[in-house]
Amino acid sequence: MSGELSPIDKAKFVAAKRAADYVEDGMRVGLGTGSTAAWLVRCIGEMVRNDGLRIKGVPTSTRTAELARDVGIDVISLDEAKWLDLTIDGADEFDGDLNLIKGGGGALLQEKIVATASDQMIVIADVGKEVETLGAFPLPVEVIPFGWQTTQALVEETLISMDVLGRSSSLRMNGARPFVTDEGNHILDLYLNRIGNARQLSLVLNQMPGVVENGLFIDICDAVVIGYGDGRVEVRDINQGTIEQDRLDFVETDNLFTDLAD
């Protein structure tokens, strides 16, 4: 299976495979949402089936919960877990300080709650997600459905005083209807191009009535595992100030995921 992967999927897979090394027996682990996080869930599922790994998984979306159960992970809620040893999740962008933009998959609220309820957060990403300055990826902002157009207007007006290059936004759609999060909310995508002061923007957005949460993850990520299409992996730990490099070999006959649909 691995030999059939595209370079981008190889990068996601090796990042997920390397990050799975952080998971130890008996842990309570937050499981992220998105294509890269899905590889991680599958890798952990293999460890559960083949190595007897015993963990409690706390998913950040219904999609992740379904996949985790399919691969044999014992799924519990955050309320049952109380606190987590580790959360591993993807990111839409990350900068040199390991600040993130997340929410491209629409699960930013649960992802942020789970990540901040963890002793450690590890981000897994392909190298294309690294940026010098956040903002090229549209910033998701979760808003309640009531008065969302008024909230959108207030957000755009507030952006005038923020250090950003773009100030337009759009309601995320799912076909002909507004996208609805697991919590029953909508998402506004902000096209900012460049965010000069992510910390300030995050605080201002979250003070606005109608805004539930935004996709800026500031001072939450502890380490990032970066995958490359040729199998190389780089691990940057911001707390220890270390950078480690490795390479994972692909086995052309590897059937790790042949029983699962993408």
List active site positions.
111
The alpha carbon of 89 is separated from its chain's Cα centroid by a whole number of angstroms, namely 4
List the structure tokens of 194. 């460049």
In the numeric block, the tokens 């027996």 are attached to: 25
Report whether 11 contacts 229 (CB < 8 A).
yes
| Whole-number Å distance between alpha carbons of 113 and 89 | 12
- Which residue type does 21 have? D
The annotation places the binding site for substrate at: 33-36, 89-92, 102-105, 129
The alpha carbon of 223 is separated from its chain's Cα centroid by a whole number of angstroms, namely 13
Q: Which helix (H) or strand (E) holds 7?
A: helix 7-19
Nearest alpha carbon to residue 93 among 151, 34, 5: 34
Which DSSP letter does residue 138 get?
P
| Whole-number Å distance between alpha carbons of 18 and 171 | 36
Report whether 123 contacts 90 (CB < 8 A).
yes
List the structure tokens of 161. 């005083």
The annotation places the binding site at: 33-36, 89-92, 102-105, 129
